[in-house]
């Protein structure tokens, strides 16, 4: 049986394992990690998918500031290699994005493949609208509103929250 559930405090090692296996070494070098340094994930938006009690995938979000306006950054999202293509990541995103909207978050950004994340409503951030704190392929910088007008206020450097 496949179960989607909120992340629990003791899930840390399980999530690190899924991320290590999914991304391989070097994941901490990504520019997105500069926005996570010294900042905790948003507890209420972490989810884990399990099958018969065994972990299959995870999703987390971090708070960020965009030109000083609070937003959230989706990721990392990962599903163990043997279980990809079963819709688990899409479902993790749908659940957590709905929760984020419910909690009052107004927008969400991420760095990833547009054709994939378009499935859950992401589009490309217009060129020049935002800057990341390190090297990034700006055609992969995506956003999605969670409340009407939530993107209108976003412009400027993306910086660490907290
Ligand atoms: C990306 C990832 C989370 C997707 O997990 P998943 O559970 O296999 O995804 P889903 O089953 O929900 O969706 C799979 C579908 O998306 C497609 N897809 C997957 N990655 C894609 C991409 N980069 N671009 C376009 N389509 C993609 C698959 O072909 C599949 O299509 P189908 O439904 O027509 O068969 C998983 O492959 C993974 O963990 N990768 C390594 C970590 C990573 O890169 N994470 C994302 C960056 S934070």
With 90 as the cut, is the pLDDT of residue 44 above it?
yes
In short, whether 65's Cβ falls inside 6 Å of ligand 1 is no
Q: Which CATH number is 2-160's, of 3.30.70.260, 3.40.630.30, 3.30.70.890, 3.40.50.720?
A: 3.40.630.30
Ligand 1, atom 43, residue with closest C-alpha: 78
Q: Looking at residue 111, what is its pLDDT?
A: 96
In short, whether 27's Cβ falls inside 6 Å of ligand 1 is no
pTM of the model: 0.96
Q: Looking at residue 24, what is its pLDDT?
A: 85
CA distance 138 to 128: 9
| Model confidence pLDDT, tens digit, residues 59-83 | 999 999 999 999 999 999 999 999 9
CA distance 64 to 158: 7
Q: What is the sign of the dihedral through the CA atoms of 89, 37, 160 and 25?
A: negative
CA distance 76 to 19: 8
Which atom of ligand 1 is closest in space to residue 91's alpha carbon?
A: 12
Ligand 1, atom 31, residue with closest C-alpha: 85
Query: To test ligand 1's pocket by mutation, which of 84, 93, 112 has the most ligand atoms within 8 angstroms of CB?
Result: 84
């Amino acid at each position: 049986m496949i179960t989607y559930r909120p992340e629990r405090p003791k899930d840390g090692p399980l999530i690190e394992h899924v991320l290590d296996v999914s991304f391989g070494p070097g994941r901490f070098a990504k520019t997105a990690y500069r926005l996570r340094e010294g900042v905790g994930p948003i507890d209420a938006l972490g989810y884990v998918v399990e099958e018969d009690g065994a972990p299959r995938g995870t999703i987390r979000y971090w708070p960020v500031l965009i030109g000083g306006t609070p937003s959230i950054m989706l990721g990392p999202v990962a599903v163990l290699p043997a279980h990809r293509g079963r819709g688990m990541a899409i479902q993790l995103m749908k659940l957590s994005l709905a929760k984020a909207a419910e909690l009052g978050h107004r927008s969400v950004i991420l760095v990833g493949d547009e054709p994939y994340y378009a499935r859950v409503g992401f589009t490309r951030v217009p060129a020049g609208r935002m800057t990341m704190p390190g090297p990034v392929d700006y055609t992969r910088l995506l956003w999605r509103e969670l409340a009407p007008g939530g993107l209108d206020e976003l412009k400027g450097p993306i910086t660490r929250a907290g």
